[in-house]
């Protein structure tokens, strides 16, 4: 969620006045803008701030929020928190991997789905839980999960069909 509308990536870069501690917010806004941190953004940030690219890369790889590759249209966040874990979230994650043919951290070839795990979504009473973009789906079983994923696939297929028809 963007906090201020004007706080976009280029504005932040332009506004940079050498104040320390700006690197992480800059990277966050780059990722907000592009969906990931492209090679070019690292060069831009380095050019403006004078921080070596290697240091920036070090910060990017330290934090789990940052990614160096584009994400799918639907980002699945499978909760791996304690409450979900004791509700067998492992089977849930394996089911997603199986249904989509990707592993945790991967993106499907058609660019539709990216699968990640998160420490805790915070709706432990609905365990096991996943989020697909901003929608939360709880109390899942392998069967209900497959149905859910297939409904996303179907929706996507039919909307593509609409487009090609138009």
Partner 1 sequence: MKKVIVGMGTCGLSAGARQTYERFSELLSENPGVFELAHTSCIGMCYREPLVEIREGEDRILYGEVTPELADEIYQSHIARGKILEDHVALHLGKGGAAKGSESEFYSLQNKIVLRNCGTIDPESIDEYEEKGGYRAIRKVLEEMEPAEIIGVIKESGLRGRGGAGFPTGLKWSFAAGYDSEIKYVVCNADEGDPGAFMDRSVLEGDPHSVLEGMVICARAIGASSGYIYCRAEYPLAIHRLTIAIGDAREKGYLGENILGSGFSFDIEIKQGAGAFVCGEETALFASIEGQRGMPRIRPPFPAEKGLWGKPTNNNNVETYANVPWIITNGADAYSAFGTEKSRGTKVFALAGKVVHGGLAEVPMGTSIHDLVFKIGGGIKEGREFKAVQMGGPSGGCIPAHLDHTPVDFESIPATGAIMGSGGMVVLDDKTCMVEIARFFLEFTQEESCGKCTFCRIGTLRMLEILTKITKGEGEPEDIEKLLVLGEQIKESSLCGLGQTAPNPVLSTIRYYRDEYEAHINDKKCPAGSCSALVDFLIDPEKCTGCTICAKNCPVDAITGKAKEVHVIDGSICVKCGKCITSCNFDAVYKK
Residue ranges binding partner 1 (CB under 8 A): 1, 3, 20-25, 27-28, 58-59, 62-66, 80-83, 85-86, 91, 94-95, 98-99, 118-127, 129, 136, 138, 141-143, 146-147
Residue of 119, 116, 137 lying closest to 128 (CA atoms) = 137
Q: Which is nearer to partner 1, 62 or 163 (CB)?
A: 62
- Distance, in Å, from the CA atom of 103 to the CA atom of 46, rounded to the nearest integer, reads 32
Q: Which is nearer to partner 1, 46 or 136 (CB)?
A: 136
Contact 137, 148 (CB under 8 A): yes
Minimum Å gap between C-beta 30 and partner 1 is 12
Q: Which is nearer to partner 1, 2 or 161 (CB)?
A: 2
Q: Which is nearer to partner 1, 76 or 83 (CB)?
A: 83
Minimum Å gap between C-beta 108 and partner 1 is 17
Helix runs in 16-88, H state only? 23-34, 39-49, 53-62, 82-86
Minimum Å gap between C-beta 1 and partner 1 is 4
Minimum Å gap between C-beta 115 and partner 1 is 14
- Token readout for 4 is 């201020």
Is residue 88 left, alpha or beta, with left meaning phi > 0 and alpha meaning psi from -120 to 50? Answer: left
Minimum Å gap between C-beta 149 and partner 1 is 12
Determine how many CB atoms are found less than 10 A away from the CB of residue 25: 13
Q: Which is nearer to partner 1, 65 or 164 (CB)?
A: 65
Whether omega before 116 lies within 30 degrees of 0, making that bond cis, reads no
């Amino acid at each position: 969620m963007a906090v201020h509308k004007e706080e976009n990536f280029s504005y932040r870069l332009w506004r940079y006045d050498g104040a320390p501690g700006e690197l992480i917010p800059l990277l966050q806004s780059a990722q907000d803008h592009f969906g990931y941190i492209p090679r070019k953004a690292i060069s831009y940030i380095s050019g403006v701030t004078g921080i070596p690219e290697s240091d920036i890369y070090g910060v990017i790889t330290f934090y789990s929020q940052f990614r160096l590759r584009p994400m799918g249209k639907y980002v699945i966040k499978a909760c791996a928190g304690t409450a979900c874990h004791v509700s067998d979230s492992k089977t849930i994650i394996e089911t997603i991997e199986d249904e989509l043919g990707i592993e945790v951290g991967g993106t499907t070839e058609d660019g539709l789905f990216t699968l990640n795990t998160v420490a805790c979504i915070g709706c432990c009473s609905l365990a096991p839980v996943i989020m697909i973009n901003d929608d939360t789906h709880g109390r899942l079983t392998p069967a209900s999960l497959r149905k859910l994923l297939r409904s996303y696939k179907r929706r996507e297929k039919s909307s593509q069909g609409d487009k090609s028809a138009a």
